[in-house]
């Protein structure tokens, strides 16, 4: 891990409005293909969303894991605002890319559109910035972020604050 660059990305995320941002090593990421079950049976985007694992040609969690394990580190971003989480993680990806980390890749629960064009049977309006959710690629977000003491609980009502997590895999 390039400690100085990781700190730079963490600081950048915090300056952009993240509630928390922490560097991780790939060994901190907990992979579990059961996340696919939660997507299939519980998410209203299944079969519609352009970034969800149901889209044609999408990789399976075990395929994502094989690819993501090629990275050595990255940054986890936490926000209570879905769009903030998405925008920050994409900005960090771009910054890493511009600094020579050409394989940098962000994952967030896509928040580009108010409603995904896939629900209307239309193509993605911004495929360049659309990214899969951190959890939809086979990552147990609960176990992963708890390693860092970050807030996450199962929601018992719609009145509770939602914690949105995204990540940028760097190198």
Per-residue model confidence as pLDDT tens digits over 66-93: 999 999 999 999 999 989 999 999 999 9
What is the reported pLDDT for 92? 98
7-41 burial, b for 16+ CB within 10 Å, e for fewer? ebbbebbeebebbbbbbbebebbebbeebbeebee
Q: Please answer whether residues 7 and 79 qualify as being in contact, where contact means their C-beta atoms are separated by less than 8 angstroms.
A: no
Instruction: State pTM to two decimals.
Output: 0.90
Domain positions in the chain are 3-169
Euclidean distance between CA atoms 146 and 154, whole angstroms? 13
Half-sphere exposure of 5 (CA within 13 A, CB side): 18
pLDDT digit of tens for each residue in the chain (171 aa)?
Answer: 899 999 999 999 999 999 999 999 999 999 999 988 888 787 777 876 767 777 878 888 899 999 999 999 999 999 999 899 999 999 999 999 999 999 999 998 877 767 777 777 777 777 777 788 888 889 999 999 999 999 998 888 888 889 999 999 998
What is the reported pLDDT for 35? 87
């Amino acid at each position: 891990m390039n400690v100085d660059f990781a700190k730079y990305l963490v600081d950048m995320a915090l300056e952009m409005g993240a509630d928390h941002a922490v560097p991780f090593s790939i060994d901190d990421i907990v992979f579990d293909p059961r996340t696919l079950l939660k997507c299939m049976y519980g998410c209203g985007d299944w079969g519609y969303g352009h970034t969800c694992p149901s889209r044609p040609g999408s990789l399976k969690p075990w395929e994502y894991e094989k690819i993501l394990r090629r990275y050595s580190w990255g940054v986890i971003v936490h926000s209570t605002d879905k769009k903030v989480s998405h925008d920050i993680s994409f900005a960090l990806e771009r910054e890493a890319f511009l600094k020579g980390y050409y394989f940098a890749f962000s994952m967030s629960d896509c928040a580009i559109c108010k409603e995904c064009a896939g629900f209307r049977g239309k193509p993605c309006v911004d495929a360049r910035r659309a990214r899969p959710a951190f959890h939809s690629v086979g990552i147990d977000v609960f176990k992963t972020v708890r390693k860092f003491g970050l807030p996450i609980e199962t929601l018992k009502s719609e009145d509770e604050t939602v914690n949105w997590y995204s990540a940028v895999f760097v190198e």
